[in-house]
Structure 1
Amino acid sequence: MLYLFLHVNKHTVCLLLVSVALVSFLSVSCTYDPLSMRAVTVVIPMQHRWEVMQNKSFWYTLVWTEKGECKRQHINAGERRVNLWVRRGETVVFCAYPLGEFSPVGGALAADGGQEVLLNEQEGVLCHLLIESTKLTTGALGGLVYPHLLQEIRSKVDDFSLLDANRLQKDLVNGELRSSSIQVQEPLAVVISTIPQGYWVGERVRDTSFWSYWGNEGVALSLGAGLHCFWNKEDALLLRVFVDLKEQAFFPSVQRGPLW
């Protein structure tokens, strides 16, 4: 009798497992219709320079556009590849933010693009602007041909933080994007003084790392628009410098962190 009881239970378990697998398959198939969705892989190929210094990986917040909205997903520390389903027939813009807040790496897949996108620092500035534009107007990226925009910008400037972001975003949101929308500004000469001594490492490759010493007259930097962060590992301090190219002004501050 005991044998029969066990025998029946084994068959019952098998039937239950098959049923669960079938339901899961149908559920996934309904959620991700291969006729309207495509499977893509998002890759963060390069380690952040702070990750290399600390010998410890960041976690990231991945943000991407879909139907005029923004989706997000947490990426665990050490993960460098994420598989997603995105809509066919539309440009999808991606940004991965280190620790959820620092300067992102970015990239995009065109409507007729491939199945893999490699995120990089240069495009992070542009893709962040595009995602912010989507938040302002859901149809901001409707007619965007990303490869053409990227090629046009690269023909004018290497450092995307020198773009006139307000002009570009305004024309993008208003559906008036053209070559003249891409205006390049000069970097701002910044002198950083009265900060703790030590070695400060910029989060971006283009941001010069520097030594600061007691009693010196300050450190001269040349920075583009937006927020620039420099990390003093020894003292666990973060220097934040916000640059406004339009007003020709900068605003430095020092705080604890980052810790991860």
Structure 2
Amino acid sequence: MTTEQSPEPAIRVQGIEKSFGELHVLRGVDLDVARGSIFALLGSNGAGKTTLVRILSTLLRADAGTAVVHGFDVAAKPGDVRESISLTGQFAAVDEILTGRENLVLVARLRHLKTPGAVADELLDRFSLTEAGGRRAGTYSGGMRRRLDIAMSLIGDPPIIFLDEPTTGLDPQARIEVWDTVKKLAQGGTTVLLTTQYLDEAEQLADRIAILHQGTIIQNGTLAELKQLLPPAQVEYVEKQPSLEDVFLSLVGATGTEKES
């Protein structure tokens, strides 16, 4: 009798620790991210989110523990990891002097793709930027710059993308544009790990949510599973289900964050 084995996760983190001097930022983080899913790492400022992403993207070495990304150990095979991922930081890294299309062509050439122009045109169309492709990126709105930034990170079709605080500083309309972009990435099979401190962002996007607090994962589950951690409240005899904000604040408290390096 044979049994079906579940596929290996796109990302597996076990016991990751990281300190900067006497500041213990990560104190033993464990998590798995399924292939083709959106996984939200939710936490306050200073919880350790960016530090973990920097370790997973080979920009920083962990003090202890292991991390495997797309089947490659981040410490033993960093080159293979870098070929399998893309990282979009908290602020759009576009050249504002170049046009949107020129930004994309530049990255495609740096990745030694044979048809950089065709790659740029396909991505402009995919991210609804074709009409703006001939304009300088400095004239773009915040949401457009962010979409261009994500488009640039997808050149070469990386199977895994890290989005570190992807909507920081954006207005509500721009945030929705980025959310739609992230949803389309997962629908196309890309694995997305995003960090956020915005509860509604995790609620809107994530298949699974892990709450990182004081350097450890204190809860990890689907939105429905996390809501079950609190009983429904009753107001005037009407049952009210707990929101993700209720769950988050109940678990980590309303105050007290650590400084993150």
TM-score range, shorter chain: under 0.3
Select the structure with the greater relative contact order (CA < 8 A; seq sep ≥ 6).
2
Give the TM-score, by structure 1 length.
0.24
Q: TM-score, normalised by structure 2?
A: 0.24
Q: Which has more helix, going by share of residues?
A: 2
